[in-house]
Amino acid sequence: MASSPSYLLPRTSQDELPAALDQALTDVENQFDTPTDLLKQITDRMLWEFNKGLAGAPTDDESFMPMIPSYLQQVPHGTEKGTYLALDLGGTNLRVCEVELLGDSKWRMKQQKYKVSEALKVGEVTALFDYIAGSVDHFLTEIGTSASEDEKLHLGFTFSFPVQQTAIAAGTLMSWTKGFECKNAIGKDVVQLLQDALDRKHIHVRCSALVNDTCGTLMAAAYERGDCLCGGIFGTGTNGAYVEDIDRLTKMGFQADELEANKRHGLDKMVVNTEWGAFDNERTVLPFTVFDSRVDRISINPRKQAYEKMISGMYLGEVTRNVLLHLVDSQVLFKGYSTRALNAHYGLDTALMSALEAPFVPNSTESGDPLAAVRDVLTSSLGLAPALVADADCSAAARVSEVVGTRGCRLAACAIAATVRQTEQTTQGQEKELVFGLDGSLVEFYPRFEQRVRDALVEILGADQAKKVKIALAKDGSGVGAALCAQAAAAMESKGATTVRKD
Ligand code: BGC
């Protein structure tokens, strides 16, 4: 048995594999290897892109992370109160929520999920927004609101795609990601699109804040915990937002006296939406394999979202599927046979990776034979005939999933490490924790996600600094965060601020 990188689980004696399969797996492990030095190089390069973006990379240059100012200059304290609507588009479903902020770091939420069909994702953008407005209407009619009849409801809109934000309630769509590709949307103000759709249906709701899910997650974690440095999503897509010193956001063009005035008013910070999913679109440091290139080439956004395609839930299953097919075609797996599911584009859902790996998690509470559990997944979910699946095939399929998933987690750690280093200037000397509020299906469901990220963080940052990083699950953060942004916008408006859309 060839030796594997030490960050992978040790192969057990059960894993005696036929020599050709063993060799092919070792080759896959090597292609997906992410040694410490590489992780450090990636972190350095990400820091470089952070600062390039803050200084003002041209907005139409999609080779780099955009580092978008969110116009959120304060994070919540936990005392905020009120009832707000929140809309969340950009994950698996559209969600409409009513959030009641109770003012003691707690909230209550009513929510309803609505399915966004594949046809809506690629059709005319007005059809998508009419559907969204219809869902708000349905929510208000069927679920109801606790706000009084004559009160116009403020809505926070979590729109989780790259948007060039120009105010707290305005921003133009830069590009689509995660399988969306609606026509006539790029360059349009998404708040206007939503407001027009709501107005067409005479729905008494005003969109008063536009927010990326990462910013929402950060706001929600700060509301609940009193402190948060970064909100991150590792779900269908990946991205992070963090609190930056405003004088480093040089592309906003503040003059020295304005910066001074900001500081005097305690407005010396701004939440920045990094859009780190677009990191290294230029392919300078990320460890591209032929499998990644294949996934990228037939995606709807080739040569974009390079980092996201190695990390997030939309793509991990697809990379795994491509590696399994390679082993099938090399005649070392499943006796050289594939299935309709395995042949289909996106035919292996990332959720299956959890099912393939969970039986092998050390000290897992799952009882029973791990190989039998994996065989069950392969036959029931991928349609393989039991006679094609030997024990060695079960071990190998679980291993491929682990190799692809572990690379994703280790690369994810680079973004966290880069954020720690970027904010060192302000957090240095602080003994307190550096809180990362994270949400998304990988954080919530992928076995050993946090452990794998933590191991890599220790390698990149060293044990002392890594120890300060606190990973907090910020479940449903984007809905609560959108409500908090609507609250912030309403508060700013009542003080006569001009950044809020008036109607
Ligand atoms: C989008 C981001 C979003 C992330 C997580 C990415 O594809 O570009 O705006 O925050 O997914 O949902």
Q: How is 203-257 classified by DSSP, letter by letter?
A: --EEEEEEE-HHHHHHHHHHHHHS--SEEEEESSSEEEEEEEEGGG-GGG---HH
Q: Whose CA is nearest to atom 8 of ligand 1?
A: 161
For the Cβ of 213 lying below 6 angstroms from any atom of ligand 1, the answer is: yes
Average confidence (pLDDT) over 281-297:
97
Q: Calculate how far, in angstroms, residue 277's C-alpha sits from the geometric centre of ligand 1.
A: 7
Q: Whose CA is nearest to atom 1 of ligand 1?
A: 161
For the Cβ of 347 lying below 6 angstroms from any atom of ligand 1, the answer is: no
- Cα angle for residues 197, 202, 204 (degrees, 5° grid): 100
Q: Which has the higher per-residue pLDDT, 11 or 242?
A: 242
For the Cβ of 162 lying below 6 angstroms from any atom of ligand 1, the answer is: yes
Q: DSSP code of 56? A: -
Average confidence (pLDDT) over 62-84:
90
Q: Calculate how far, in angstroms, residue 216's C-alpha sits from the geometric centre of ligand 1.
A: 12
Residue 61 has pLDDT above 80, yes or no: no
Q: Look up residue 43 and give its two tokens.
A: 């972190």
Taking the C-alpha atoms of residue 458 and residue 453, their distance in angstroms, rounded to an integer, is 9
206: closest CA among 192, 190, 195, 193?
195
Question: Rounded to 5 degrees, what are φ and ψ at 338?
Answer: -115, -175
Average confidence (pLDDT) over 309-325:
98
Average pLDDT, the chain: 92
Assigned CATH for 73-211 = 3.30.420.40
Position 93 scores a pLDDT of 87
Q: What is the atom index within ligand 1 of the atom nearest the CA of 308?
A: 7
Taking the C-alpha atoms of residue 144 and residue 317, their distance in angstroms, rounded to an integer, is 38
For the Cβ of 309 lying below 6 angstroms from any atom of ligand 1, the answer is: no
Position 476 scores a pLDDT of 82
For the Cβ of 239 lying below 6 angstroms from any atom of ligand 1, the answer is: yes
Average confidence (pLDDT) over 34-52:
97
Assigned CATH for 1-70+215-478 = 3.40.367.20
Q: What is the atom index within ligand 1 of the atom nearest the CA of 90?
A: 12
Q: What is the atom index within ligand 1 of the atom nearest the CA of 161?
A: 9
Residue 499 has pLDDT above 50, yes or no: no
pLDDT band, residue 1 (cuts 50/70/90): low
Q: Calculate how far, in angstroms, residue 315's C-alpha sits from the geometric centre of ligand 1.
A: 13
pLDDT > 90 in the chain, percent: 80
- Best substitution site from 70, 157, 172, 213 to test ligand 1's pocket, by max atoms within 8 Å of Cβ? 213
Average confidence (pLDDT) over 138-161:
84
pTM of this prediction exceeds 0.85: yes
Q: Calculate how far, in angstroms, residue 275's C-alpha sits from the geometric centre of ligand 1.
A: 7
Average confidence (pLDDT) over 404-420:
98
Position 177 scores a pLDDT of 94
Residue 264 has pLDDT above 80, yes or no: yes
Q: Calculate how far, in angstroms, residue 232's C-alpha sits from the geometric centre of ligand 1.
A: 10
For the Cβ of 308 lying below 6 angstroms from any atom of ligand 1, the answer is: yes
Long-range Cβ contact pairs of 118-126 (< 8 A, separation 24 or more): 118/179, 120/182, 121/179, 121/180, 121/181, 121/182, 122/180, 122/181, 122/182, 122/183, 123/182, 123/183, 124/182, 124/183, 124/184, 125/182, 125/183, 125/184, 125/185, 125/188, 125/193, 126/184, 126/193, 126/197
Residue 498 has pLDDT above 80, yes or no: no
Q: Calculate how far, in angstroms, residue 237's C-alpha sits from the geometric centre of ligand 1.
A: 5
Q: Calculate how far, in angstroms, residue 478's C-alpha sits from the geometric centre of ligand 1.
A: 12
Taking the C-alpha atoms of residue 209 and residue 173, their distance in angstroms, rounded to an integer, is 15
Q: Calculate how far, in angstroms, residue 495's C-alpha sits from the geometric centre of ligand 1.
A: 32
For the Cβ of 212 lying below 6 angstroms from any atom of ligand 1, the answer is: yes
Taking the C-alpha atoms of residue 417 and residue 453, their distance in angstroms, rounded to an integer, is 10
Position 40 scores a pLDDT of 98
pLDDT band, residue 501 (cuts 50/70/90): very low
Position 468 scores a pLDDT of 95
Taking the C-alpha atoms of residue 145 and residue 86, their distance in angstroms, rounded to an integer, is 12
Q: DSSP code of 427? A: H
287: closest CA among 30, 23, 9, 24?
30
Average confidence (pLDDT) over 360-369:
81
Q: Whose CA is nearest to atom 9 of ligand 1?
A: 161
Average confidence (pLDDT) over 250-274:
89
Taking the C-alpha atoms of residue 90 and residue 115, their distance in angstroms, rounded to an integer, is 11
* Domain coordinates in residue numbering, the chain: 1-70+215-478, 73-211
Residue 150 has pLDDT above 60, yes or no: no
Q: Calculate how far, in angstroms, residue 28's C-alpha sits from the geometric centre of ligand 1.
A: 29
- Best substitution site from 88, 89, 219, 275 to test ligand 1's pocket, by max atoms within 8 Å of Cβ? 275
pLDDT band, residue 495 (cuts 50/70/90): low
**Amino acid in position 135:** S
Position 429 scores a pLDDT of 62
Q: Look up residue 455 and give its two tokens.
A: 């191991």
Q: Calculate how far, in angstroms, residue 342's C-alpha sits from the geometric centre of ligand 1.
A: 27
Q: What is the atom index within ligand 1 of the atom nearest the CA of 305?
A: 7
Residue 437 has pLDDT above 60, yes or no: yes
